[in-house]
Amino acid sequence: MNAQNSNSDQIVKSEEEWKLQLTPLQYSVTRLKHTERPFTGTYYLNDEEGIYNCVACNNPLFISDTKYDSGCGWPSFYKPVNKESIKEIEDNTLGMQRIEIVCSKCDAHLGHVFEDGPDSTGLRYCINSASLDFVEEEEGGKKK
């Protein structure tokens, strides 16, 4: 059962519900905070125009215009769709100090943000492909 918090747009599901909805890799990344291997993700080399949504709840996260090749092995963006689409959480695991990025609607783990991005923002949102669902930009009312 998909329960929603009446005070917000927050999506709350049981772990069993997430397991039924997501592939094993998507579940591992978004719910258990694991990371896919670098240079292997579906969207790492994607250069199509469109929007990247949360794979768990379809919340718009990043647009293709902000994607760039950082050379890190994961899709990289220099800014989210808007500040409300993601949440930043201090992450001190693995002996490192980092900022974890999660979806603001379902708390899916997306990746991390680093301060070594392009000059426009100085930020690099390093995101797992497994946490994303890409929707191509429509041209004349039809998907490309």
Which residues are known catalytic residues? 126
Closest to 97 (Cα-Cα) out of 86, 106, 89: 89
On whether the CB atoms of residues 67 and 60 are closer than 8 A, the answer is no
Instruction: Render the burial of 4-24: b for 16+ CB within 10 Å, e for the rest.
Output: eeeeeeebebeeeebeeebee
Question: For residues 105 and 88, what is the distance between their CA atoms, to the nearest angstrom?
Answer: 13
**143 residue type, one letter:** K
On whether the CB atoms of residues 49 and 136 are closer than 8 A, the answer is yes
The token duo for 51 is: 């929007």
